Amino acid sequence: MRRWLIILGGLLLVGYLLTGVTQVRPGERAVVRRFGRVLDEKPGPGLWIGLPWGMDRVDRISVDTVRRVTVGYQPSTEESGTPAGQLLTGDQNLVNVQVVIDYEVREADVAEFVVQQDRVDGLVSRVTESVLAEWIGGRQVDDVLLRGKANLPRHLEQTVQERLEPYRLGIQVRQAHVAHLFPPDEVKSAFDDVSRAQAGIRTRTNQAEQDAERRLREARSEQYRLEQLAAAYSVEQKLQARAEAERFERRLEKYQALRRDNPAYLRGIWLDEIGRLFRRMKENGQVDLLDHHLSADGLDLTIIQAPKK
């Protein structure tokens, strides 16, 4: 009998000692409180061997899990007074708003989360409600309803995180989005009409901007084409001018060389060219020499007739 008591006592002792062994799963961090004091070591995935129950308390916290808090209006609930999430805008209109805050536990601050975890969701909810009331109360109802779903999430992510930091909750706001943002049912149809009109204006504005962009691209393409043509024409004209200048310089050099030998050389060239020109014009019926109008100094007068149609 005594032997069985010893065996039973040994088994109980082993079982008690095994309470100090904890399996930490992937994606988790463990926070160990030994006699109420949080240890600096935060065991990661694997087997943690500590002191048995009563000496160590181990809390395993998932640091990969996204936790969610829903704040504001609940469409499915009926309340006699002002429903939660029904807020007043800056121009004294009511809107129903519901937002969702997603947060994660910061791995480096998991001990703070363990200490505060029973009040984390409540604090996140109250801080978010405060930020919502401030944001909506500072704007007119048109701005809230038309731009709230686009602008409010960014404001919530930044401001809620800033206001939660003093509480040392060990969490990080990852995302905020607006799940519900509508006026009360009594005026919802009027706001729907405004929203449709605003959507039509945005559509036409986008179409006009796209058309303007297309025309601008076409104008730039035409500008580039004309610039290329102008550049090519400029190069061509420069080359022709340079070639003509070189030909003129060669003829000038030749003329100067011949003029030294024959001073009347230029007059001979001029008369020769004029003679060929007059012959062509006479053949075309455009020139008729008036020899009987010769003056005493031997000048030939001519009549240049307009071309026959």
Domain shared by 6 and 22, yes or no: yes
**Nearest one of 45, 159, 174 to 105, comparing CA atoms:** 174
Domain shared by 50 and 13, yes or no: yes
pLDDT in tens, 228-254: 999 999 999 999 999 989 988 887 787
Q: Is 36 left (phi over 0), alpha (psi -120 to 50) or beta?
A: left
Contacts of 53 (CB under 8 A, 6+ apart): 16, 19, 20
Domain shared by 119 and 152, yes or no: yes
pLDDT in tens, 45-54: 777 667 677 7
> How far, in Å, CA of 220 to CA of 229, rounded?
14
**CATH number for the domain harbouring residue 145:** 3.30.479.30
pLDDT of residue 172: 94
Residue 143 resides in a domain: yes
Q: Which of 183, 210, 226 is the last residue of a domain?
A: 183
Q: Which of 167, 183, 199 is the last residue of a domain?
A: 183
> How far, in Å, CA of 52 to CA of 68, rounded?
34
Selected residue with higher pLDDT from 117 and 82: 117
Q: Which of 183, 212, 230 is the last residue of a domain?
A: 183
Secondary structure of 26-79 as H, E, C letters: CCEEEEEEECCEECCCCCCCEEEECCCECCEEEEEEECCCCEEEEEECCCCCCC
Domain shared by 90 and 43, yes or no: no
Of the ranges 57-61, 168-172, 288-292, which one carries the lowest mean pLDDT score? 288-292
- Give the number of domains in the chain: 3
Question: Which structural domain, as residue segments, surrounds residue 300?
Answer: 271-309
Say whether pTM exceeds 0.85: no
